[in-house]
Structure 1
């Protein structure tokens, strides 16, 4: 009986979320597009086989939207005759992997430091916040360029420097949330019952801060992706033969008058992914906030 009740509760909750999701058409379009990009990042490279590195000098700078060749050349070819579709798929995997790794790492470390700073306060909390202030005092892109110029601009260093520059956002957000949550009655009750600080932080406080951090992470994903593209464009990001959207734009800028599509298509994808992430994060912020959730629910009631 309890299992049936739990299943009904789960399906009702899922139905309510889906109804709010379908009531926001822009969010629906954005998540469909983002799901397609994630699918390409996960399974695309296995579908194109060796098309990514296959060169055909006879097809150098092949114009897009041509039906004279197979589908892999529908978006044209680059200066070495490589398929633009294949290169865009590989760039999707690399760009999204770097951005996702940096966001998860910065959210995890920054969130934990913010929890500690907000709960304990005192000298420990002030020290953590001063570290965040020092990091934020430097322009993130300039700091990343300097670090990657001094060290090897490899995948690991790129992820670490992007995560490091984005940590203060999560530190400040988590600390602000904890300062409000720790004054609630259930935290006081846990303390009076002898619960340890670790249990209070990770069992009672952290779950309430995660929705806010996830919303910020969704929006921050677009910023990190743009940062990675900018670093690759400047030549201190991923190096050939690997490729990202930013690197494709950088390689295509020398052919803008001769082959505009080399820079146009990766730039278009960057813009669409960033726009979709912003629309989805706006929807997620409304859904996770009970004070604003009524907007989507009222739309559903009117449609019924």
Structure 2
């Protein structure tokens, strides 16, 4: 009798099941491994590198990559002051990803809370919140960040605040759309009839159902914030020396593209690979979360004869 193949539609509830889905998507697996290495560099990179990222070495000035004459730390070459690019990439990852993570978290927390209020309440302040979101979205985010940072001055705190404000409308609109649908559900009516207050209904009953969507949006938006931060740092409006990010490293090497291309190439490549990996993982996560698409990641099973 011919064998019949059956597609499993089981829910991905365990870490082992998610690992199997990830192993079947080779591109997503490579992206996950890259992000794992990057996160490890963020957590322990500063301890391992010590002062190597800022150590000057005029003998190694503009040292070409793939040379082990001065040690493995110079495998990617050195910049105009003889500082090892590999060490600066590892230390710069901490600042770049740290700023992006802080900005995304703040925008998700503030935007999600405002979206909950705007979606559940029909009073005037709900409309004010949405109009403020429209005003922010009417300005190009990079232009708005340039104006604010030029006025307030470049610093890590100002950079996080500006990036968070420019990304807030996405979370406000998403949370509001979710709440508009959830507030008509039976469990909300039951909680209201039992005397539950607005705050309890919002943060105890509705917010836990909205949070997974906001986390997904935050994961997708993380790559966008990294690009925005790198652009601002490239223009000199990011964190100031002696601190640095990947965008600042690209800016330092833009004047040497003809003679020492590696100074700007490696941090640019790091930005490219990070944003690409995040987008690939976000796409993989959407596929896993959608039962209609999950079958693409599941192996075919043989039915019993």
Structure 2 matches for 1:36-47, cutoff 5 A?
A: 36-47=37-48
Is residue 128 from structure 1 mapped to residue 139 from structure 2 by the alignment? no
Distance 1:228-1:12 versus aligned 2 partners, 3 A rule: closer
**Which runs of structure 2 are paired with 1:242-281 in the superposition (5 Å)?**
242-281=243-282
Instruction: Please list every run of 5 or more consecutive structure 2 residues that lacks an aligned counterpart in the other structure.
Output: 1-11
Paired residues for 1:1-304 under 5 Å: 13-296=14-297, 299-302=298-301
Q: Supply the distance in 1 between the matched residues of 2:278 and 2:114 (Cα, whole angstroms).
A: 26
SS state at 1:52 partner: helix
Return the offset for 1:89.
1.0
Please list every run of 5 or more consecutive structure 1 residues that lacks an aligned counterpart in the other structure. 1-10
Deviation for aligned residue 1:168: 0.3
Query: Whose helix proportion is higher, 1 or 2?
Result: 1
Output one character per residue of 1:272-297: Cα deviation in whole Å (capped at 9) or x when no partner: 0000000111112223334443443x
Secondary structure of the structure 1 residue equivalent to 2:51: coil
Aligned length: 292
Query: Is the Cα–Cα contact under 8 Å of residues 106 and 164 in structure 1 kept in the other structure?
Result: yes
Could you tell me how far 1:42 is from its partner in structure 2? 1.2
What's the counterpart of residue 8 of structure 1?
none
- The 2-side partners of 1:223 and 1:280 are apart by 14
> Aligned equivalents of 2:87 and 2:40: distance in 1?
14
**1-side partners of 2:292 and 2:88: how far apart?**
44
Aligned-partner Cα distance in 1 for 2:295–2:197: 37
Between the aligned partners of 1:130 and 1:38, the Cα distance in structure 2 is 38
Return the offset for 1:47: 0.1
TM norm structure 1? 0.92
> What is the aligned partner in structure 2 of residue 7 from structure 1?
none
Q: Which runs of 4+ in 1 moved over 4 A?
A: none
Q: Separation in 1 of the partners of 2:168 and 2:38? A: 26
What's the offset of the Cα at 1:239? 1.5
Normalising by the residue count of structure 2, what TM-score does the alignment of the two structures yield?
A: 0.92
Work out whether residues 62 and 76 of structure 1, in 8 Å CA contact, stay in contact via their aligned partners in 2.
Answer: yes
The CA deviation string for residues 193-217 of structure 1, in whole angstroms up to 9 with x for no partner, is 2222112111211111111111111
Given the superposition, is the C-alpha separation of residues 183 and 36 from structure 1 closer, same or farther in structure 2, using an over 3 Å criterion?
Answer: same
**In terms of mean alpha carbon deviation, does 135-144 or 19-28 score higher?**
19-28
Q: Give the Å deviation of 1:18.
A: 2.2
